[in-house]
Amino acid sequence: MACVSSLWAQKNLPPLDQLARINDSIIAEGHNLYFSEKINWVATDYLFEKYTEEDVGGSLTSFQDSLFSCIFCDKKMENCILELRWRVTNDGIQEMKIDSPRALTQKEKDEIERKNRLVLKIFEFYSDSIASIQPEYGQLNFDFLPVNENITRVYILQGITLEGILPWGNDYGIDIDKDENIVRFWKYHRSFIPVQIEAGKEGIPMHSHLEDNPFITPTDICNFLLYGRDIYKMNSFVVLSNAFNCSFMYMDSSKTIVTTQH
């Protein structure tokens, strides 16, 4: 998984082969983040067909070997009351929905407790660094995805409940090691960027990145897929890069990023 770095706060684009590797890594990371967010959306819809918020004691989303799993547990953290699994293949998503309640495994209990501890730890150390957005926009969403055997990356995304908005910004990355030490915290964007979208109106949404954020980010791709593509049926978006004096266009039809020098 790639991270945006101030290393590239310069005027010259990296060589084409290196740029291709960077963009491919960002796309792969953005897609994994999208699947993590999307399975939470879909699982939550299934959940509230039978349960209320008062019935739920916690949730856990995991990803391993192309399998995304989202579970919800009861208040006592003893039983899984809903589980949804997606296997991502070259042909798309194979969905497996499991409704029957079952006992949580000890590993699942440990992971839910770990997730809760890490969220509290993040707010303990970084609450002053995370922007407070008007509550009518929506709440923050947390996604936990493995980077390697030692590092878990926690993404914080700004959720949106208002219609007609494609949200970019107010998004953060936190790398945490297996001993629950925070080893890195960063902002993907300096501010919140709610882009107004008109249903049925053609156009390519865009926003700009300053020199400390030169490339398209995985969170850009994730939010575009969730809102721009899935809701508003768009195929592409553009990021204007001040660092390289160029534009990057993500094309969902080909799953590529096209670079245009200005």
Task: List, for residues 101-152, the tens digit of each pLDDT value.
Answer: 899 999 999 999 999 999 999 999 999 999 888 788 889 999 999 999 999 9
Residue 240 has pLDDT above 50, yes or no: yes
Gap between the Cα atoms of 204 and 77, Å rounded: 45
Please give the mean pLDDT across all residues of the chain: 90
Amino acid at 209: H
CA distances from 37 to 6, 78, 144, 231, 260 (A): 27, 25, 10, 14, 30
Angstrom distances, CA of residue 238 to CA of 182, 186, 215, 252, 260: 32, 22, 11, 12, 10
Length of the chain measured in residues? 262
pTM: 0.91
Which pLDDT score is estimated for 225?
Answer: 96
Per residue in 38-65, pLDDT (tens digit) is 999 999 999 999 999 999 999 999 988 8
* Contacts of residue 215, Cβ cutoff 8 Å, sequence gap at least 6: 4, 8, 22, 23, 26, 209, 239, 241, 248
Go through 24-47 and write b for each residue having 16 or more CB atoms within 10 A of its CB, e for each that does not: eebbebbbbbbbbbbbbebbeebb
Q: Mind spelling out the 3-state secondary structure of the chain? A: CCCCCHHHCCCCCCCHHHHHHHHHHHHHHHHHHHHHHHHHHHHHHHHCCCCCHHHEEEEEEEEECCEEEEEEEECCCCEEEEEEEEEEECCEEEEEEECCCEECCHHHHHHHHHHHHHHHHHHHHHCCCCCCCCCCCCCEEEEEEECCCCEEEEEEEECCCCCCEEEEECCEEEEEECCCCEEEEEECCCCEEEEECCCCCCCCCEEEECCCCCCCCHHHHHHHHHHHHCCCCCCEEEEEECCCCEEEEEECCCCEEEEEEC
Q: What is the pLDDT of residue 93?
A: 77
Per-residue three-class SS string for 164-220: CEEEEECCEEEEEECCCCEEEEEECCCCEEEEECCCCCCCCCEEEECCCCCCCCHHH
What number is the average pLDDT over the span 12-17?
Answer: 91
Residue 200 pLDDT grade (very low, low, confident, very high; cuts 50, 70, 90):
low
R_g of the chain computed on alpha carbons = 19
pLDDT for the residue numbered 131: 86
Side chain identity, residue 241: S
- pLDDT, position 88: 84
Check residue 1 and give its pLDDT: 44
The answer to whether residues 134 and 127 touch, using CB atoms and an 8 Å cutoff, is no
pLDDT value of position 260: 94
Residue 9: pLDDT band with limits 50, 70, 90: very low
Place of tokens 């721009």: 228
- Sorting pLDDT into bands at 50, 70 and 90, what band is 5? very low
Q: Place 10 in a pLDDT band, splitting at 50, 70 and 90.
A: low
